[in-house]
Every structure is written in structure tokens, then in C-alpha cells.
Structure 1
């Protein structure tokens, strides 16, 4: 018996969260909740497929630790690219098995894979316009979750880094955001320690 669209979405969400529940560190369900919450704040009328995509941002990431790739920037970038591919395809399979339409499942695959996101910084306006709204919303949500939930721990684990390095990191983080994402990020800034606020302000003004 085929499921109605709402039932298919609910079934997909259940399957996605079953994967998250296997995370040995018990972090991914909380991360998925935060991604979904920020996606709704950024786009209150977000369709169910986009909310499902938000929950798939780190789908089964714990199965491919960063330590399984070489050290250094090249190793990190390959790890991240491979994750985008495996996570997006896994998400698509889960949605299809739940009865979500093929077109919506493919939209989720594109959003999670960050397809065409690199075009955002193109000097060609026509190319920039090819970045899908759903892809950018997920990118915004991921940055906002990082600022809200992960930044302090990240700083604490790298206290020996020079201030200028932190400014550079925050600058690269800031330019990932859309205008809506930047406005949302500014609501988080007051909750950060004073030194981090100053670093972020410097990064923003020099981005």
C-alpha cells in the first residue's frame, strides 16, 4: 500500500533519525534538530523536503571519521567532498524507500551534496543564479549551528592559534552566508565571549 505524502515524509524522518541514533557519540540527533530549527527560522514556509534535507546534513557522518583521510588541507577537502556525495546519495535512498517522490528525493540529494554551491562566488551573475535556494539555506543553517553550538569548543581545542588566524577563519565562514544568514548570525554574536565578538566584527568588516 502506497503512503500519502505526509506519511512518506514522516517515514523518511524516522529512517533518517534511526541512522542518527547509531552515532556512538550521541551527537547527530541534536545536530539534526538544530539544523531543522535554523532552516525553519530562515525559511518559515520551508517544504517538507527541505526540512528532511536539513536533517541529513551529517547523515551517517560518524561512519567516516576525519582520521580515515590524510592529514592536511587536501585530505580534509577530499573527506568533505566525499561526505557530501555519500550523505546525499544515502539521503536520496532513504526518501525513495519511504515513498517520497523521485523529484523531491533528488532535490534533497542536490541540497545535501552542495551541488553548484561553488558557483556562489563566481564573477558571472548567471552562474551565481544557478545556486539553488535550498542549497544555500542548508549552508546558512550549517554555519549558524556552528556559531551557536560548536564555535566555543572549536576555539577551546585550538587556543594556541594566533588571533589573525581566527579572523581569517571567521572571514571565510562569514562569506558562506546569504544576506538572510548574515542577519541571523548577528543575533548569535551577543551570546559569544567579548574577544570572539571582536574577532567576528573584524572578520565581517574585512570580508
Structure 2
């Protein structure tokens, strides 16, 4: 087994411990974070089929053990949200780096995986931007419809505008191909026009 296969197995083993389950298309229930990681990988295949191993591992580990630090463990304020996100990125990067080192990767490669998870040099680093684009695509594809049911239209449009602003042209191109309900499409159009 290669270093990559070992690291991927360790990452996915961690995802399978997520107690939050989701029912997928065939009626099977799987841990949500495994579902999320697999969807991130599928979007990476569309985005860049020749992506580096370090980017593939960062994509797969982006939400590593995220369920252990719920959003509710931080104040329900904008600063609380950003503090939660900052802590998660750092923690997930450290855990992924350790997995990579334990699986035989060099310190440089393991550090690169961690840097990508932290999204360092976003907008200047093509791989860091790819991870951001793919996270936004998975949000739009997998979480947006449900998110829209629990927030008012003004907030949703604002979040869509921010999401769009984080993405590259390549990310925009893929986002416009995502199948959505008519209501969700109308919100996207409204966000893009405003």
C-alpha cells in the first residue's frame, strides 16, 4: 500500500466515526463527514483530474473530525463564527499533517497538506484556491437547499454573494452547472444580479 493509500484510509477511518448520518440516493445511511469528503473528491475530479497527492489529501481531510467541535460550542455571533472556523482549520490541518507523517510522507509534503487545509495564500496559490472553490461547490450542491429553509432570503442572498466572491472563474463555471430547485436558482440569480 502506498503512502497515499494509507493516508486516505486513515482520513476516511476518522470520517466513519462521525455520529451524524445522512441518507444517500440508494437509501443507505453513511456518516455525514464521509459523504462530504467523497463529494469533495468527486468535485476535485471535475475541477482538476491531475491534481497533486497533497491537494487530494487536503480535499479529503478538509473537515477532519469537524463534528467534535460543533458550531454551538462557540458564541452565536459573527465573531464567534469566525473564531470557530479559524480554530477548526488549524485543528484539522494539524490532524491531517500528523496522519501524513505517520503514513510516511515527508515533513514538506505533510506541511503542504496542512497549509492547503488552512487555505494559506488564497487567491495566490492555485491549489489553495482549488480547495476553496471545491468547498464552495459542495456547499452549493449539498448544503444550500437545506440552509435556505432555515434562513430568510436576505441572509441567503448575502451568503451566496460572499460564496461567489471567494470563487475563481473556474469555480463559477462549475457552480452554474449544479442542478438546483427553481427556488434555489432564483436566489442564485438574485445574488449575482445584486
TM-score w.r.t. structure 2 length?
Answer: 0.90
Root mean square deviation, CA, Å: 1.3
* Whole-angstrom distance in 2 between the partners of 1:53 and 1:195: 33
CA deviation after TM superposition for structure 1 residue 202, in Å: 2.3
Uncovered stretches (5+) of structure 1, i.e. residues with no partner: 1-5, 121-130
Aligned residue for 1:136?
129
Structure 2: 5+ residue runs without aligned partners? Answer: 21-30
1:36 aligns with 2:41: yes
Matched, 1:177 2:167: yes
Aligned counterpart in structure 1 of residue 186 of structure 2, from 192, 195, 198 = 198
Over residues 38-78 of structure 1, what are the superposed CA-to-partner deviations in whole Å (9 max), with x where a residue is unaligned? Answer: 11211111012211110111001011111111111110100
Question: Which of 1 and 2 has greater Rg?
Answer: 1
User: Match for residue 2 of structure 2?
Assistant: 7
Write out per-residue CA displacement over residues 24-50 of structure 1, whole angstroms, 9 at most, x where no aligned residue: 112011110011111121111101221
Paired position in structure 1 for 2:25: none
Distance of 1:90 and 1:64 partners within structure 2: 14
Of the candidates 2, 15, 21, which is equivalent to residue 16 of structure 2?
A: 21
